[in-house]
Amino acid sequence: MYILAIESSCDETSVSIVKDGVEEISTVILSQMDTHANYGGVVPEIASRMHVENITIVIDEALKKANMKMEDIDAFAVTYGPGLIGSLLVGLMAAKTLAFIYNKPLIPVHHIAGHIYANNLVKRLEFPLIALVVSGGHTELIYMKEDYSFEKLGGTLDDAVGEAYDKVARVIGVPYPGGPLVDKLAHTGVDTYDLPLPLNDDSYNFSFSGLKSAVINLAHNERQRGKDIIAANMACSFQNRVVEILVKKTMKALKFYNVDNLIVAGGVAANKGLRQALTEACKKASVNLIIPEMKYCTDNAAMIGAAAYYAYKRGDIAGPYLNAKAVTLLK
Ligand code: KG4
Ligand code: ZN
């Protein structure tokens, strides 16, 4: 089954063709990052406009790259949420129109299901598993008993981990998008700053706004004294706290649910500190750890095409009234 998938929830216009949920035939990603970097973050209205300008070009390019025609496609899939509403609507309208014209099924995919199923393109998922989803918009621990069954164990109560990275980056003078650069900087610094371990309790929830505020306050106090923080040391101290709490709660969930498969998904899965710490902890606990290649960590339509195959098998087919949802739970 060839699925043409569209992802436009944030600042990437992406289209992929994926076969049977496991084989990526072609992917095109048009990133708007350079444009948004001028503003220090994603500007929703600009993102929507750029999706409108690019969506048909990206669809054509994905077909051309696969050496296929629209008639070869068996179903159309699209991210319906969560994300920026204007951006989501562009992808949604395109997918709906194609499904209508070619009289093929329209498969709605939750963005986080996509991030999880990115791993299915690397290696077929094994169940039961725990997924740690860490991105610019999400920090979630999810239990999966079988394909396309999601039980949320916990999530962030405030800022997502990637969002906290991007905000801390700004405070310590690192340009947007801050996450990858803070990660790089952290490896050149020393953990000298006394930052709190956030929401260090028995739940599977996370909270990063207190930690972010602690960084802002420390920087502010230093500057008032006419000094400045040492950016590399602050990056290292911040990253150590983030990684420690993510690893602690993830390992606790694996033990409690007696699961020995862990997958990590989302943009922050690219974080070197997190990868190292999870690799060590999983080795010690004999847990099978899967982290996708970098290209599958950040937003792409291949992950949506992979998830869509299993969504379809579960019976998730949308009608013409499918709407975009800025906020929506993974079910
Ligand atoms: O999954 P993604 O591409 O988009 C969302 O769905 O949010 O994730 C983007 C987020 C950004 O906040 C970015 O700063 C963060 O992932 N990120 C990182 C790293 N690479 C990307 N954060 C920490 N360390 C990294 N190496
Ligand atoms: Zn994402």
> What is the spatial distance between Cα 28 and Cα 62, in angstroms, rounded to a whole number?
6
Is cis: bond before 198, omega within 30 of 0? no
> What is the spatial distance between Cα 78 and Cα 91, in angstroms, rounded to a whole number?
7
Write down the H helix ranges in the chain: 33-37, 44-66, 85-102, 111-117, 161-171, 178-186, 209-224, 231-256, 272-284, 294-297, 301-314
The residue whose CA is least distant from atom 23 of ligand 1 is 179
Do 152 and 77 share a structural domain? no
The residue whose CA is least distant from atom 7 of ligand 1 is 136
Please give the chain's pLDDT, 331 residues, in tens.
Answer: 999 999 999 999 999 999 999 999 999 999 998 999 888 888 999 999 999 999 999 999 999 999 999 999 999 999 999 999 999 999 999 999 999 999 999 999 999 999 999 999 999 999 999 999 999 888 999 999 999 999 999 999 999 999 999 999 999 999 887 999 999 999 999 999 999 999 999 999 999 999 999 999 999 999 899 888 999 999 999 999 999 999 999 999 999 999 999 999 999 999 999 999 999 999 999 999 999 888 898 899 999 999 999 999 999 999 989 999 998 888 8
Q: How many domains does the chain divide into? A: 2
DSSP one-letter string for 289-301: EE---HHHHS--H
Ligand closest in space to the Cα of 84: 1
Residue 52 Cα to ligand 1 middle (Å): 24
Do 207 and 237 share a structural domain? yes
Q: Is residue 47 part of a domain?
A: yes
> What is the spatial distance between Cα 10 and Cα 28, in angstroms, rounded to a whole number?
15
Residue 242 Cα to ligand 1 middle (Å): 14
Q: Is residue 330 part of a domain?
A: no
Q: Is residue 331 part of a domain?
A: no
Do 154 and 92 share a structural domain? no
What kind and span of H or E run contains 153? strand 151-155
Do 180 and 193 share a structural domain? yes
What radius of gyration, in Å, describes the C-alpha atoms of the chain?
20
User: Cα 320–324–326 angle (5° rounding)?
Assistant: 165
From residue 18, give the alpha-carbon distance in Å to each of 57, 65, 107, 126: 18, 12, 13, 20
* Nearest atom of ligand 1 to the alpha carbon of 160: 12
Do 155 and 90 share a structural domain? no
Do 310 and 179 share a structural domain? no
Do 11 and 33 share a structural domain? yes
Do 308 and 249 share a structural domain? no
The residue whose CA is least distant from atom 24 of ligand 1 is 271
Do 136 and 111 share a structural domain? no
The residue whose CA is least distant from atom 20 of ligand 1 is 180
Q: Is residue 326 part of a domain?
A: no
Q: Is residue 320 part of a domain?
A: no
* CA 6 to centroid of chain Cα atoms: 15
Structural domain boundaries, residue 260: 127-291
From residue 163, give the alpha-carbon distance in Å to each of 17, 41, 50, 225, 268: 30, 10, 22, 28, 10
Ligand closest in space to the Cα of 268: 1
> What is the spatial distance between Cα 227 and Cα 221, in angstroms, rounded to a whole number?
9
30, 14 Cβ separation under 8 angstroms = yes
Specify the residue for token string 């949506």.
Answer: 304
State if residue 114 touches ligand 1 by the CB under 6 angstroms criterion: no
Q: Is residue 325 part of a domain?
A: no
State if residue 137 touches ligand 1 by the CB under 6 angstroms criterion: yes
Q: Is 257 helix (H, G, I), strand (E, B) or coil?
A: coil
Do 178 and 93 share a structural domain? no
Do 195 and 276 share a structural domain? yes
State if residue 299 touches ligand 1 by the CB under 6 angstroms criterion: yes
Residue 141 Cα to ligand 2 middle (Å): 15
Q: Is 76 helix (H, G, I), strand (E, B) or coil?
A: strand
Q: Is residue 12 part of a domain?
A: yes
State if residue 179 touches ligand 1 by the CB under 6 angstroms criterion: yes
State if residue 266 touches ligand 1 by the CB under 6 angstroms criterion: yes
State if residue 183 touches ligand 1 by the CB under 6 angstroms criterion: yes
Residue 114 Cα to ligand 2 middle (Å): 8
**Residue 309, domain CATH:** 3.30.420.40
Q: Is residue 39 part of a domain?
A: yes
pLDDT at position 292 is: 86
State if residue 14 touches ligand 1 by the CB under 6 angstroms criterion: no
Do 307 and 226 share a structural domain? no
Residue 128 Cα to ligand 2 middle (Å): 23
Residue 136 Cα to ligand 2 middle (Å): 7
To the nearest 10°, the Cα dihedral for 135, 138, 144, 147? -70
What letter represents residue 136's amino acid? G
pLDDT at position 330 is: 87
State if residue 273 touches ligand 1 by the CB under 6 angstroms criterion: no
pLDDT at position 324 is: 96
